[in-house]
Structure 1
Amino acid sequence: METRRLRLLVELSRLGSMRAVAEAVGTTTSTVSQQLTVLAREMGTALIEPDGRRVRLTPAGRRLAEHATAILAAVESARLDLAPDSEPSGTLRVAGFATAIRAHLLPLITDLAETHPGLHILIREHEPAEALELLAADGADLALTYDYNLAPSDPDPALHSTALWTASWGLGVPAHADVTDPADTLDVFARFRTQDWIVNSRNTADETVIRTLASMAGFTPRITHQADSLDLVQGMITVGLGVGLLPIGIPTFPDVRLVPLTGPRVTLRAHAVARHGRLAWPPLALVTDLLVQRTAAPADVAAPDVGH
């Protein structure tokens, strides 16, 4: 088996069409089809079958794609293992959310410019789902993502996640609101059951948290407004458009009150995510280790006040 044919099969299992695979790898649809036909002949079993105007993997094809993911990772790991102690150099592509980049990655870049001048970091600001898509499509080497304890992300066997930091979140409400502080989370949610609720416009995790807690409090929240900027969320609360989750510790607007949620707690969890087989690549290993060291000291880190 040639690894390039296995990669085509993995891409087909991920993208779902020959055309998409051809575009992803920079070849023609007929070439993709021919290579998969050869692979099927080598394996002695059908790997794809018609599905309307498209094709889909057979059970054997899906099983081989699972093996291929591990095989390709092992091949990549073997390649990188030839020089695991080499000086970190080249370009490391990082996709991540604004807080992680601004508060933790940018300070590292300043130091790395002096200690490792041959290493260049390319930054793309993305929410977790977008960053993970780039990682899967080999458009990024490192993804800085987050989830919540009440809305955990689904693990991907092809990816390795390193825990970075946690941050407690509360509920942003109008400053004049009559609510005990601190208060039981479900009591707080029940107090605002008739309010509109504000959620992130580029990520569904906080909406999942809100719906989960509202359900536990016995109501269905009325999700209305969406905003990516936490400053904008506070502005919406100020003018009476609703309530929404905000990180504990941020400076609040004069007309906004941040109510801690004591139980169940709402905790954001930040992660550094990379593909198996690349973890030993010196630039990736270095930056990941530095991020872990930088975020390990405080037990609970509050997120800055702009963006998620």
Structure 2
Amino acid sequence: MDPRRLQLLLTLSRLGSMRAVADAHHLTTSTVSQQLAALAREAKVTLIEPDGRRVRLTPAGRRLADHAVTILAALDSARLDLDPHAEPAGTLRVGGFATGIRVSLLPVVPELTARYPGIDVVVSEYEPVEAFRLLVDDDLDLALTYDYNLAPAALSPVLEAVPLWKIPWGLGVPQQGAPEVGGQADISAYAGQPWIVNSRNSADEVALRTLAALAGFTPRISHQIDSLDLVEDLIVGGYGVGLLPLGRPTMAGVTVLDLADPSVVLTTYAVTRRGRADWPPLRAVLERLRPPSGPLPTRDWLRPFPGSYPG
């Protein structure tokens, strides 16, 4: 089977429209239709069927699209294996959340580019959902993402993720009237408070709603904020409470209480397309992004960086 036709089928499974496939691959709709018809003849099965004015994959078409993920990844890997020891060179497109870039990527870039001057690292800031979409569309080579244990991210089958490091989160509340620092939070005591969540990613809201459901209440989401510093301003002003990383220095008037049963833990990941990790520039970066040999410090690791949500 022609891998170019398999790629068109895979794109159709994702976009659901012949026109969208044609636009994505800079082809005419007629050409896409002809190529998929040829693929159907090669496979000796019907791959698409009418669905009103559109088309949809048949069950056989969906199965072949699933196989296409593995086949195309294997072909990518095979191409890279032809010269696995090549000097790393080329533009490496990295996207991710701000803290992940600061903590995991930027410290390794000077040594990397000094050793391999042919590598050009281009960095963009994205939330995980944005980064996943760009990886699937092959518009990024590496994404630094995160999720919470109570809100795990769902990866496309064309992607693979390697965990990097973890940090626990707690409940940020006004210091006045809060339990002593180090005490565990009784989240139900704040059931009637307005709650603050991230404006650019829904993962912390999912984690919060899970915590609240286990405690027997539904949180009233009043504020959606991208900056942790602004979250703290709202907490100090009495405008609400929200999840904050434990160990991060906070402004006066804010206390971060431990959460347990369940706890909330943020995990960061290096995410790539399947079959791409051996591309020399990407491999050179991934080797330097390995998890630290010892435990990640839980205090002051964010101190040099202005506060922002993990995104």
For normalisation by structure 1, the TM-score amounts to: 0.94
Which of 267, 277, 282 is the aligned partner of 1:284? 282
What amino acid does structure 2 have at the position aligned with 1:231? D
**Matching of residues 157-196 of structure 1 within 5 Å:** 157-185=157-185, 187=186, 189-196=187-194
- What SS class does the counterpart of residue 41 from structure 1 fall into? helix
- Map Cα deviations across residues 153-207 of structure 1 (whole Å, 9 max, x no partner): 224332221110001111111121333543445x2x1110000111111111110
> Contact 2:112–2:285 (CA<8 Å) still a contact in 1?
no
The CA deviation at 1:137 is 0.3
Q: Which runs of 4+ in 1 moved over 4 A?
A: 300-303
**In the alignment, which residue of structure 2 is the partner of 1:298?**
295
Deviation per residue, 1:273-307 (Å, 9 max, x gap) = 111111111111111110115x4433455663223
Any conservation in 1 of the 2:181–2:256 contact (CA below 8 Å)? no
Taking every aligned residue pair, what percent have the same amino acid on both sides?
56
**Secondary structure in 1 aligned to 2:124?**
strand
- Name the counterpart of 2:50: 50
Match of 2:277, SS state, is coil
Shift of 1:262: 3.4
Matches within 5 A, 1:193-204: 193-204=191-202
Provide the C-alpha distance between the structure 1 equivalents of 2:86 and 2:28, rounded to a whole number of angstroms.
Answer: 37
Matched, 1:68 2:68: yes
**Are the equivalent residues in 2 in contact too, given 1:198–1:244 (CA < 8 A)?**
yes
Equivalence for 2:221: 223
Confirm or deny: 8 A CA contact 2:188 2:215 kept in the other structure.
yes
Q: Distance in 2 between matches of 1:6 and 1:242?
A: 51
The 5 A counterparts of 1:8-157 are: 8-157=8-157
Name the structure 2 match of 1:7: 7
Aligned partner of 2:290: which letter?
V
Residue of 269, 272, 275 corresponding to 1:274: 272
Distance 2:293 2:235 in 1: 33
How far the C-alpha of 1:101 sits from its partner, in A, is 0.7
Unaligned ranges ≥5, structure 2: none
Whether the 8 Å CA contact 1:159–1:275 is kept in 2: the answer is: yes
Following superposition, the deviation at residue 120 of structure 1 comes to: 0.8
Q: Are 1:229 and 1:307, in contact at CA under 8 Å, matched by a contact in 2?
A: yes
SS at match of 1:107: coil
Aligned to 2:289, what secondary structure does the other structure show? helix
The whole-number CA distance in structure 1 between the counterparts of 2:86 and 2:294 is 28
Shift, 1:10, TM fit: 0.5
Matched, 1:253 2:230: no
Within the candidate set 253, 259, 262, 2:260 is matched to: 262
- Cα distance in 1 for partners of 2:308, 2:166 equals 17
Q: How many pairs does the alignment contain?
A: 305
8 Å Cα contact 1:164/1:296 also seen in 2 = no
CA distance in 2, matches of 1:212, 1:19: 40
Q: Which amino acid in structure 1 is aligned with residue 251 of structure 2?
A: F
Deviations 1:59-88 (A, max 9, x none): 000000001110001111000001111111
Q: Distance in 2 between matches of 1:85 and 1:77?
A: 14
CA-to-aligned-CA distance 1:11-53 (integer Å, 9 cap, x gap): 1111111122122212222211111111112212211111222
Match of 2:236 in 1: 238
CA contact (8 A) 1:166 1:300 kept: no
Aligned to 2:309: 307
2: distance between equivalents of 1:151 and 1:87?
39
